[in-house]
Amino acid sequence: MEDDGQRRVLVAQRQPADRQFTSRFLELLGGYQVHEAADGMSMIKGLKNKPDLIVADTHESAQFPRAIEIIKRNKAFEETPIVVYSEERHLVSSFAAKGIQGFIIKPAAPAVLLGKLWKVLGGESAREATASSFSERFQADLDDIEDLPTLPSVFSEVDRLCKDPDIGADELSKVIETDPSITLKLLNLANSAFFGFSRRIKTVHEAISLLGNKTVKNAILNIAVYEATKDLATSAGLDKKEFWVHAAGVGSVARFLCKKLSIDRDEAFTAGIVHDTGKIILDSLYADFYKDVLKRVAENDVSIYEAEEEVIGLTHATIGQELAESWNLGPELSAAIAHHHQPGRADGDEEIACLVHVGDAVARRMGVGSGGDSKVPEIDPEVLKKLSISTDQLSEWDSEIQEAVDRDRSVLSILQS
């Protein structure tokens, strides 16, 4: 076939009206030369036109999924990008595994459809294409996915009540006590070395009176996040035991810094606990992608954050932020999750992102657990400036930090009990 420079697209859609609409749209707005296929067989026959791109829907009865598999197995066409354009968003993950270059959920705005096809045709690398399909897949999954972890309902209720500054211990304790497992862990936390009370706290009411609503809410959130993520079905192999030691370690350092620098941040420890939650989600819900991330970390001198960017184009910070929003964790924790690698980018709450940023680097330097790689990140000098500390000062605090980390391990053993 003569190459006139015009891009060729094969549009494989079952419904004639749909197919013609997509075709006219691509011809008129995109300037593509379009060939059409009404079923899987004519889709395969349409390969003789040497399309630069195939846009296919997912109708089983028209045998499009089968045709996609056949095309991907054919050496001559395995590189031909295929974008699936379908309303069947539950099929995103099975198609992503087949090596397609994108998934557009119908109905898509014309600009989205054209933009996506242009991107695939524009010579971007396979990795970038995978990343963009991943991004869409993630967005689609977040809306629809049923196995996205949910926090125990008692947390949402406590969170709602705590928005009222006048809420009393009576009302709050009644709600907490509806969950016996959380009640027990909360009492164990209240009596742990983490809080260091000399007398025994026997009731939730007493714990609330002594610790205050906000501290109790954060303690419940620590329990809730651990509970919600501990039994996820699949895993690409992230070491969860070391992950939690790291998370608690970061929390301890952040909490230590608050005490040392007289910063009033009740959520500092919890910010450490939740800061890398995005890794657990990626490791489980996107295990097929995350295996490659972990392999890259093991074989190359890169951080897990860099490997996530390289392999899937999205980091645990971004995914974690989405999760924080779906869990309604509030702006402070959301900022800690989203910006702990680049606190300078936090447009709202920079301080908590700075505390976790330093906590992350210090915990890694001191070998407290593992965040999934063995790289010790550099602390951003701007962050040190903002917190009015120096690296020398941090090193001088090493033994005190170690003590805080050891003491706060009690929290982890309670969460895991």
Using CB under 5 A, pick the residue from 46, 369, 371, 372 that binds Fe ion.
Answer: 371
Which one of residues 332, 350, 360, 408 is an interface residue with Fe ion (CB under 5 A)? 360
**C-beta of 69: minimal distance to Fe ion in Å?**
37
CA distances from 221 to 91, 195, 217, 228, 412 (A): 33, 16, 6, 10, 13
| Tally of CB atoms within 10 A around 182 | 21
Distance of CA 132 to the CA centre of its chain: 15
Spatial distance between the Cα atoms of 344 and 355, rounded to a whole number of angstroms: 12
Strands (E), 39-172: 53-56, 82-86, 102-105
Q: Which is nearer to Fe ion, 37 or 247 (CB)?
A: 247
User: DSSP code of 380?
Assistant: P
- C-beta closer to Fe ion: residue 152 or 377: 377
Stretch that binds Fe ion, among 52-60, 154-162, 173-181, 274-282 (CB under 5 A): 274-282
Partner residues linked to 84 by β-bridges: 56, 103
Tell me the number of residues near Fe ion by CB under 5 A. 3
Closer of 159 and 276 to Fe ion (Cβ): 276
Stretch that binds Fe ion, among 153-161, 228-236, 269-277, 389-397 (CB under 5 A): 269-277
**How far apart, in whole angstroms, are the C-alpha atoms of residue 91 and residue 84?**
10
- Distance, in Å, from the CA atom of 174 to the CA atom of 3, rounded to the nearest integer, reads 74
Length of the chain: 417
- Distant-in-sequence, close-in-space partners of 396: CB < 8 Å, separation ≥ 6: none
Query: CA torsion sign, 69 to 134 to 372 to 226?
Result: negative
Choice between 12 and 335, CB closer to Fe ion: 335
Report the residue number, 181 or 300, with the smaller CB distance to Fe ion.
Answer: 300
Q: Which of 295, 275, 292 is nearest to 134 (CA)?
A: 292
The stretch near Fe ion (CB under 5 A) out of 12-20, 118-126, 235-243, 359-367 is 359-367
For Fe ion, which is the closer residue by CB, 332 or 360? 360
276 belongs to the binding site for Fe ion (CB under 5 A):
yes
Of 13 and 318, CB closest to Fe ion = 318
Q: Which of residues 219-238 bind Fe ion (CB under 5 A)?
A: none
Q: Least distance (Å) from Fe ion to the CB of residue 360?
A: 4
To Fe ion, the closest distance from the beta carbon of 368 in angstroms equals: 10
* Helix, strand, coil percent values for the chain (each to nearest 5): 60, 5, 35
Please identify, among the stretches 75-83, 93-101, 271-279, 389-397, the one whose residues bind Fe ion according to the rule CB under 5 A: 271-279
Please give the sequence-ordered ranges of beta strands (E in DSSP) within 29-155, or none if there are none.
33-37, 53-56, 82-86, 102-105
Residue 65 contacts residue 23 (beta carbons within 8 Å): no
- Which of these ranges, 228-236, 258-266, 326-334, 353-361, lies near Fe ion under the rule CB under 5 A? 353-361
Q: At its nearest, how many Å lie between Fe ion and the CB of residue 239?
A: 13
Q: Least distance from C-beta 306 to Fe ion, angstroms?
A: 11
State the residue number with the nearest CB to Fe ion: 371
The answer to whether 343 contacts Fe ion (rule: CB under 5 A) is: no
Closer residue to Fe ion (CB): 158 or 352: 352
* H or E element that contains 234: none
Interface with Fe ion (CB under 5 A):
276, 360, 371
